[in-house]
Structure 1
Amino acid sequence: MADPFDRSRFAASVRRRLDGISGPQAVNAWPTLNTAMISRAKRGENLTIGSFLVLCKALRLRPMDYLIDGVKRRRVTRKTLLKQPFTVSAPRETRRESEAR
């Protein structure tokens, strides 16, 4: 399924806003940011929704500008959840009796 979030455009906007500003300088200017968050945003990697919104607020970006309209999202239903593979919980063979408690 296609992602309704335009990561590349968001990354380009972040790079443009932080052009000429190093990571530590950005953190000093906006204490809610951290260098790892800035680095992930510049590379277009996954961010949590909280990090995305903090970056948008600090850099004065509009979050809805990065939503791709018309992208069909996968529906999550009970049936699709039941079809997902899972790992059966079983005792480990290497477990000792003293550790079982």
Structure 2
Amino acid sequence: MADPFDRARFAASVRRRLDGISGRRAVDAFPALNIAMISRAKKGENLTIGSFLTLCKALRLRPLDFYLAGVKRRRVTRKTILDQTVTERVPRETRLLGGA
């Protein structure tokens, strides 16, 4: 499913802002950050909304710059949940072999 958050552009912006600065120096300069958060942001991995907003504030980035307005998300309704496929329950093969 499409994500309305442009992770690649956010990661590139973080890398550009922290170019030439080590993770430890960035944490010293911005105490609200931590090395793991910076590493995940540089790689474009998942962040909590709190971490995302903290990084944006510390690095002076605008959060809405990374929002993709044209992306439609799938609606989750009771019908879509009930229509999901479910694996059929069958006995395990191991129970047939040893009798244990």
Q: Do the structures match in fold with TM over 0.5?
A: yes
Between 71-80 and 33-42, report the one with greater CA deviation. Answer: 71-80
Q: Secondary structure at the match of 1:13?
A: helix
Matches of 2:83 and 2:54 in 1, distance apart? 36
Calculate percent identity across the aligned residue pairs: 79
Residue 85 of structure 1 deviates from its aligned partner by: 6.8
The residue aligned with 1:66 is 66
> With structure 1 as the length reference, what TM-score do the two structures score?
0.79
Residue-by-residue CA offset, 1:27-46 (whole Å, 9 max, x unaligned):
00000000000000000011
Between 70-79 and 3-12, report the one with greater CA deviation. Answer: 70-79
Residue 76 of structure 1 deviates from its aligned partner by: 1.4
Between 77-86 and 56-65, report the one with greater CA deviation. Answer: 77-86
> With structure 2 as the length reference, what TM-score do the two structures score?
0.80
Residue 81 of structure 1 deviates from its aligned partner by: 3.3
Task: Say whether 1:15 aligns with 2:54.
Answer: no
The residue aligned with 1:48 is 48
The residue aligned with 2:96 is none
Letter matched to residue 34 of structure 1 = N
The residue aligned with 2:5 is 5
Matches of 2:3 and 2:70 in 1, distance apart? 11
Structure of larger gyration radius = 2
Aligned residues: 87
Letter matched to residue 19 of structure 2 = D
Letter matched to residue 65 of structure 2 = D
Matches of 1:60 and 1:23 in 2, distance apart? 17
Residue-by-residue CA offset, 1:64-85 (whole Å, 9 max, x unaligned):
0001111010111122334457
Matches of 1:49 and 1:85 in 2, distance apart? 31
**Structure 2 unaligned spans of 5+:** 87-100
